[in-house]
Amino acid sequence: MTETDATVAQLTLAEKASLTSGASFWYTKPIERIGIPAIMVTDGPHGLRKQAGSADHLGLGDSVPATCFPPAVGLGSSWDAALVRRVGEALGAETSIENVGVLLGPGVNIKRSPLCGRNFEYLSEDPIVAGVLGAAYVSGVQSQGVGTSLKHFAANNQENDRMRTSADIDPRPLREVYLRGFQRVVEEAQPWTVMCSYNRVNGVYASENPWLLTQVLRDEWGFEGLVVSDWGAVNERVAALVAGLDLEMPSSNGRTDAELVAAVEAGELGEKALDVAVGRVIDLVRKVTAGAGRIAGPLDVDAHHALAREAAGRSIVLLRNDDGILPLATDTSIAVIGAFATKPRYQGAGSSMINPTRLDNALDEIRAFATGNVVFSEGFSTALEVSADEAARLRSEAVDAASAASVAVLFLGLPARLESEGYDRDDIDLPADQGELVDAVLAAQPNTVVVLSNGGVVALPFADRVPAILEGWLLGQAGGGATADVLFGAVNPSGKLTETIPLRLRDTPAFLDFPGEFSHVRYGEGLFVGYRWYDARELEVAFPFGHGLSYTVFEYGDAAASVAADGDIEVRVRVTNAGPVAGREVVQVYASLPGSAVQRPVRELKAFASVELSAGESREVVLTVRRADLEYWDVRVDQWVVEGGAYTVDVAASSRDIRSSVVTDVVGDEVRVPLNRNSSLGEVLSDPVAGPLVQQALASMGDSMPGAEGIMPEGVSMDKMIQAFPIGRITMMAGDAVTPEMIDALLAAANSARP
């Protein structure tokens, strides 16, 4: 008997049930008589949101000051697992100092639509990016002796009707896109907890879905930790426990505890099933207790703010920089325009809101760099209602400021009310007054730089007219300083887009299937999420997935690829910094299989690396494409399969900037699909066991089967028709020469001969 089993054996039935739900909003229940303490869990992901007393869950109550690092929408654009891990370590330290046991994050859900109100909490439209960076985050946080909660499991890709809606997804996109990132994090980093989502998956609530919580998460992926509900996500507590949900949060005031007790006493729930969940809760409590106090504090506010500034600078994406307008010279006269320059939009709204230890603003930080004249104009108002006269006045003042300066730096973005947890956006447009401001400022000052603050992508109809654009996303508490660093070249921008910026909302993959109707949303785009969609349809985009410029120039040599003994592909390419300043390049590897037997995107990201190079430096970059990431989900056998063939491996600076390509042969997995009467003749004949038997049987029939030539038009291949003909229906052509019993015997012999 394990130590945990011995502890469970000491508990009464009521005590067991009590441990599977919270004592309050943030604490688990203690059992003091046998030394099980309560532990605290609290929101993240980009900072510690520890609330005091009876403070609420939705970010409206006071919380202790903590470092607000860039949310995932920004940090993900670094494409740098080492940086993400360092941020995770800092988050873990702050969590430990505050005696919190589990930080609720990271979010690795896929950005299916740019309208999702919570996209600022998620990393990418691609599962490889989400999985690699999510694993780095978990490893970093948990290295400090506190836990994480991987969320929101699974297919939580919209806020509209999130408590009820069913994400209806076919098996391949579910596995290959929406679960793949979660799988990577679980297998590589073993988060202490996984948080189930509110929504249903193919009609079944995630909280009571045994296929999701037990078969996939535990049996297939080997998850060893505890499954916790999102706050209020439990639909039926007994069904949820049986499915594999261990801890319901927050407190139900004893109601669902009593339901569990009653179910056990009525024989409707086996007590052993309850014991399993209780054991997992106890294991989590012991992990938290063992790690408690590892970081004694006090918090090094300055060091963590410096890390937040570094991370924010690495999160900024230089979308455009015509004629080298950036970086700015420090003696340039600058008109800083836009409300966000003094009142930064640095995090999203909802349960992830952090009370920052300090807060930079861009105007002050620009003035700290500049030796030339810097003037500020508000340009627009973020108020809910602004009169036409007031908007015109602000715009006029901005034009005057821009005209008098050598360059205008225009801070645009989405007001906080337009994107938040709990609801989705209506469009991807900037507010109309900001669009009018851009036009007016450009007419007065062609040397204009746009800096964006937004948690989800926005349409950029002015992109071909503005010489320089910085996508600043939401940058956390040090974003103002980081923006100034990039504007003046103290930091060379290296961020790359982890989501495509489309031209129009109607171009986006989920446009016709978002947000669904009557609590169902059909994922009709299938595998073609994000760049996969735009590339397959050859749609023009504003800026492609993986795009991001630098103040230097990177040159790529010819790529080479070789298959290792374990089946992974090792890709080598020489990258040279051919420009005048040090910089960092994100090297991306995509793969495709021309002529595949299954539907595939044009190319898919399979590996990436962030490489720092001094001016003039050249280095061979080695990237590994895991064999597991070449797999597709074969719906015939419900398993992962690597299809053999000649794969094209593209080394790229973005999904549409391919620098070098190489072809490498990959040996596929043997797939033995059970044969039945509906198997086609082509499938049967290609089977190594059944094929010879059928060939022999067909030969023995001789001329007993009448031909079909008389019903086929001239020039039409008989082979194509016969290949697709179900073997069970061959009796209609063979008459008495072939009976159903003969076919069944043939198929049974073939299936029984399989290894």
pLDDT, residue 705, reads: 47
Contacts of 60 (CB under 8 A, 6+ apart): none
- First vs last C-alpha separation in the chain: 39
Buried b (16+ CB within 10 A) or exposed e, 172-211: bbbbbbbbbbbbbbbeebbbbbbbbbbbbbbebbbbbbee
pLDDT, residue 708, reads: 45
Q: List the chain residues with pLDDT less than 50.
A: 60, 703-712
Tokens of 31: 């059992």
d(CA 46, CA 48) in angstroms, rounded, equals 7
Q: How far is CA 623 from CA 161, 549, 574, 610, in A?
A: 41, 21, 11, 10
Residue labelled with tokens 């009590």: 18
Q: Could you tell me whether strands 200-201 and 226-229 are parallel, antiparallel, or unpaired per DSSP bridges?
A: unpaired
DSSP one-letter string for 648-707 = EEEEEEETTEEEEEEEEEEPPPP--PPP-TTSBHHHHHHSTTHHHHHHHHHHHHGGGSPP
d(CA 280, CA 104) in angstroms, rounded, equals 17
Q: How many CA atoms lie within 13 A of 373 on its CB side?
A: 9
pLDDT, residue 717, reads: 52
Radius of gyration of the chain, Cα coordinates, nearest whole angstrom? 29
d(CA 469, CA 456) in angstroms, rounded, equals 16
Amino acid, single-letter form, for residue 629:
D
The domain locations on the chain are 10-66+76-115+129-169+177-291, 301-536, 554-666, 681-752
How big is the CA angle at 159 (ends 158 and 160), to the nearest 5 degrees? 95
Beta bridge partners, 147, equal 102
Amino acid, single-letter form, for residue 145:
G
Tokens of 151: 């969320």
- Cβ neighbour number for residue 370 with a 10 Å cutoff: 20
Contacts of 39 (CB under 8 A, 6+ apart): 27, 28, 101, 102, 284, 285, 288, 289
Tokens of 410: 């225009």
pLDDT, residue 680, reads: 86
Stretch (H or E) spanning 369: helix 362-369
Residue labelled with tokens 């508000």: 378
Do residues 197 and 154 make contact, with C-beta atoms less than 8 angstroms apart?
yes
Residue (of 469, 365, 329) closest to 412 by Cα position: 469
Active-site residue, 230 included: yes
pLDDT, residue 720, reads: 65
pLDDT, residue 53, reads: 59
Q: How far is CA 58 from CA 105, 393, 555, 751, in A?
A: 15, 36, 47, 57
pLDDT, residue 210, reads: 98
d(CA 732, CA 735) in angstroms, rounded, equals 6
pLDDT, residue 56, reads: 55
Which pTM was predicted? 0.95
Q: How many residues does the chain have?
A: 755
Do residues 377 and 419 make contact, with C-beta atoms less than 8 angstroms apart?
no
Residue labelled with tokens 């989920």: 510
Do residues 219 and 178 make contact, with C-beta atoms less than 8 angstroms apart?
no
Q: Could you tell me whether strands 204-205 and 226-229 are parallel, antiparallel, or unpaired per DSSP bridges?
A: unpaired
d(CA 237, CA 431) in angstroms, rounded, equals 44
> What sign for the dihedral angle of Cα 181, 187, 189, 195?
positive
pLDDT, residue 688, reads: 77
pLDDT, residue 693, reads: 72
> 301-536 architecture in CATH?
3-Layer(aba) Sandwich (3.40)
The one catalytic residue in 161, 230, 246, 424 is 230
Tokens of 17: 């049930």
Stretch (H or E) spanning 200: strand 200-201
d(CA 439, CA 260) in angstroms, rounded, equals 63
- Cα 290 to the chain's mean position, in Å? 31
- Cβ neighbour number for residue 110 with a 10 Å cutoff: 29
How big is the CA angle at 25 (ends 23 and 30), to the nearest 5 degrees? 25
pLDDT, residue 712, reads: 47
- Cβ neighbour number for residue 426 with a 10 Å cutoff: 9
What fold is seen in the domain 554-666? Answer: Immunoglobulin-like (2.60.40)
> 10-66+76-115+129-169+177-291 architecture in CATH?
Alpha-Beta Barrel (3.20)
Residue (of 490, 467, 495) closest to 320 by Cα position: 467
Phi, psi of 245 (to 5 degrees): -90, 120
d(CA 337, CA 380) in angstroms, rounded, equals 9
